[in-house]
Amino acid sequence: MVGMFGPDDNDNFPEHDRDENKNDFPSELPPEEEEGNIEYKLKLVNPSSFRVEHLVTQMKWRLEEGQGEAFYEIGVEDNGFLAGLTDDELEASLDTLRTMADRLGASLEILREKVIEDNSGDPGAERRRAMEVLVRKVPDDQQFIDLKLAVLGNVDVGKSTLLGVLTQGELDNGRGRARLNLFRHLHEIQSGRTSSISYEILGFDNTGQVVNYSACQNIEEICERSSKLITLIDLAGHHKYLKTTILGLTGSQPDFAMLVVSANNGIVGTTKEHLGYALALDVPVFVVVTKVDQCRPPVLERTLRQLEAILKSPGVKRVPLRVQEGDDAITAASNLGSRQVTPIFTVSCVTGQHLDLLKQFLNLLPPGLPSCERERRAQDTTEFQIDELFSIPGVGTVAGGLIQRGSIRQGDQLMLGPADDGSFRQVKVKTVHRNRLPCRLIQAGQAACVALQDTHRGDVRKGMVLVSPAAPLHSCVRFEASVYVLFHTSCISVGYQTMVHIGTVAQTAVVRATGKPEVRTNEKASVTFEFLFRPEHLRPGSRLLFREGKSKGVGEVTKVIPYDPEVLR
């Protein structure tokens, strides 16, 4: 997606002294594309009723393409030339745009505008302006537009504090007060370090204003008042909790990842490792540099240069963009989905510096999956991956996780498994909760909790799935995968053992066969893995990540070999 006044794929963002160039916008945009959620309109002055009907239909289609969000560039020709409009023409065009939005129940938010220079030399010439407008409408089958954001970074960089400030609406006192509401365990409060996966929400209303606990009493009110809701997934930064962090990335399948770096410490600890895992899983990343109030400008500049060097390195190949004003935030959000630009924010949770830019950026984040892919998954047979388990008095066993495909309603009959012998058994859905609130339906891509009727806690484990009785039950111990080795000190061969992560599955596996005798760093190969402890439910095409010490690699499941205990014996 390329927003108005943003660069095309071949532009290079200036890395330093952006204040000198902050008003240096291009004179034209790339030509308008038929697909996508960006629409160019030269003018919308007094259209006929027939024309309005056509425009409303067009807006509805653009909103569907953007899964509830569309960008209108007013005063721009179809070839991308910024012609601009007079004040009267622009106001009339905005009135028409509001009429179109009202017909669809959508809202408008003016993002920015540009004054077009008049080169005719006529001193009496009227000024001309172009404008970018965000149109937002929650899809009919959803309560709000939903995104998932994973928060990565080394220990003690301020991840939980940053999320606490965003979700609570109050600045930190400099000693970590803002993070206390995010911790789930006593030892986390005592040590100040996250050891588990915690979830918080941040909402935005129709006008782009933040909706959090500063204005709402409970999570239900936040959901009701929000047209866009971002689920913030706080992950552990310490190396000994790396398995938990990777589970949060593979199991939750976030749309974006926020890499948090401390301004005074720079690139230390697990920072590079977390960035590498996000890139390996093809998750778009942006960077937030915290604690800028605690260091001198030369130290901050040194950290920023370190980040830019890593992002421009051959293994990453990203264009760093320092976000210093509102226009930068809009450009960054518009281009993040291309995976070519990596925005860098510099914030302070104590003074509040540039937190407004970060909030503006989060409000404009594009949808993660294309609308056609999301629709295809919603129509598929049900598959719910379990990554958390609870036992609640009066309710029973509750499974938390992500619904990959299909939908689940209260009262549905589903298959739970695989058990240690590879079997599945039928269970009934008692209730369904999303964002801690009861709901009637959950669909593909949504995180939720499902209460299971007459199911003992010991019969369920993390990594199991709930699938439709009509779905094929892919229970396997052996599977084939196409892998790429990111790093290994020597080589991978038959007999090599590693920890394999596939969605919510995390289990040790051994290599039983390879396409070549040895697989080394930066090499691809076809590999047959065998789980050591129990069968798992896998699908061909699933993303795979494996690690063992400093060794790591990525890949994709290409073939699932059905589980047969007799053959394995």
Residues 6+ positions from 423 with CB-CB distance below 8 Å: 417, 475
CA–CA dist 475, 471 (Å, integer): 12
Mean pLDDT confidence for 273-299:
93
| Structure confidence at residue 102 as a pLDDT band (50, 70, 90) | very high
Structure tokens at 25: 């916008």
pLDDT exceeds 80 at position 27 = no
Structure tokens at 257: 């990842």
**Among 163-177, 218-232, 245-259, 457-471, which stretch is predicted with the lowest mean pLDDT?**
163-177
The H-assigned helical ranges of 200-354 are 219-225, 242-252, 271-280, 297-311, 326-335
CA–CA dist 321, 395 (Å, integer): 49
Mean pLDDT confidence for 178-186:
70
Residue 415 has what pLDDT? 95
> CB–CB of 46/87 below 8 Å?
no
CA–CA dist 256, 269 (Å, integer): 22
CA angle 514, 483, 149 (to 5 degrees): 155
> CB–CB of 71/35 below 8 Å?
no
Domains and CATH numbers, the chain: 25-136 (3.30.110), 145-368 (3.40.50.300), 372-467 (2.40.30.10), 475-568 (2.40.30.10)
Global confidence as pTM: 0.87
Mean pLDDT confidence for 337-352:
92
Helix (H) or strand (E) run with residue 405 in it: strand 396-405
